[in-house]
Amino acid sequence: MTEPLRWGVLGCADIAVRRVLPTAARLPEFALTAVASRDAAKAEATAARFGGRPVSGYDRLLEREDVDAVYVPLPTGMHAEWIARALRAGKHVFAEKPLTHDVGRTRELVGLAEGLGLVLRENFMFLHHGQQRRVRQLVRDGAVGEPRLFSAAFAVPPRDPSDIRYDARLGGGALLDVGAYPVRAALYFLGDGLRVAGARLRHDPAYGVDVAGSALLAAPGGATAQLAFGFEHHYTSRYEILGSEGRITVEPAFTPLPDHEPVIRWERRGGVELIRLSPDDQCANALRAFADAVRRKDPAPDPGLLEQARLLDLVRGAAAGV
C-alpha cells in the first residue's frame, strides 16, 4: 500500500474546518501532520479535532520536514505569497480557488511549480463530481444536438458584514468567489478560446468590492454563455445547456453535498428524461486527484486553470470599460 501523503494546513479557514479536513480525515491517502495558524488557540483546536501538531505561524510549518504538501485555504489576496513560499520550500500545494486574483501571477506560480517538479492544484471541487462528467459525455454524444447557449448562475444570500469576502485587501468580491464557478463551467463545456463579449459588476461602496455581476462569453464555434453571480440573491446553483435538438439542466450544480442524489434533466423532442445518478463526494474526489498527481510526480497544471484566470481578468476589464 502507498504511504499516505503527509500534509499540513496553512490557516484554519471555515472551508478547511467544515469540509476539507473532515473529508481528508476519512481518506487513507492523507495523514495530517501539522496545522498552522497565526492564532495559536485556533491551531490547537483544529489539531485536536483532526490530528497533527499545532504550529504558530505559517513559516514554521513550511520549515517542517514531516510535511510534504500543504493545503492553502487562506483568503485569495494571500494566496500568491504563501503558495510561492510553499513551493520554494519544496512542498506540493493544494489551494482554494481562485489560485490568485491576477492571470500574470497565476502564470508565474504555475511556471514555478513546473520548474521545481511540484504539484500545484486549485480546489475547484465541482469539476470532480460525476454529474459534470456525465453531462459532458451526453453533450459529446449529441444529446442536445449542436450546443447554442450555456447559462449558469451561482449566487448566495448576503453574508455577515465582517466576512472576508467583503474585504478588498484580502481579494474579496463576488467575481472571484462565486463568479469563478460559472466561468470555469463555461470553459468545461464550451472549451478554450472563449471571448468576453460584455460584463457588468455591481460594486458596494460600503465594502469596496463587487457584490454581484454577469458576463456574456462567446465561443469560437458560435455558442454563447450567459453567466450570473453574486452575494445578494436567493441561493442559486445551476447550469443549463441549450442546443439545437435538446436541453440539459443541472441543479444544484456547484456545491452538492456528498449524500445528494443528482438528477440531470434532459429535454428533447421525444419528451423529458430524468437521469438519476448515485451520490458522489466531489471534495473527496478532488483530494484524491491531488494525492494521485503527487504520487505520479505530475506537475502539469489543471486543465483550464490559466484560461480561467485569463477570463476572470477579461471580465473585470470589460466591466470597467477597459
Give me the active site residues, please: 97
H or E element that contains 208: none
The label of the residue with cell 442559486 reads 236
For residue 24, give the amino acid letter. Answer: A
| Cα distance between residue 135 and residue 139, in whole Å | 6
Q: Tell me the torsion sign for CA atoms 128, 227, 163, 321.
A: positive
Ordered DSSP codes for 111-166: HHHHHHT--EEEE-GGGGSHHHHHHHHHHHTTTTSSEEEEEEEEE-----TTSGGG
Neighbours of 45 (CB within 10 A): 16
| Cα distance between residue 150 and residue 133, in whole Å | 16
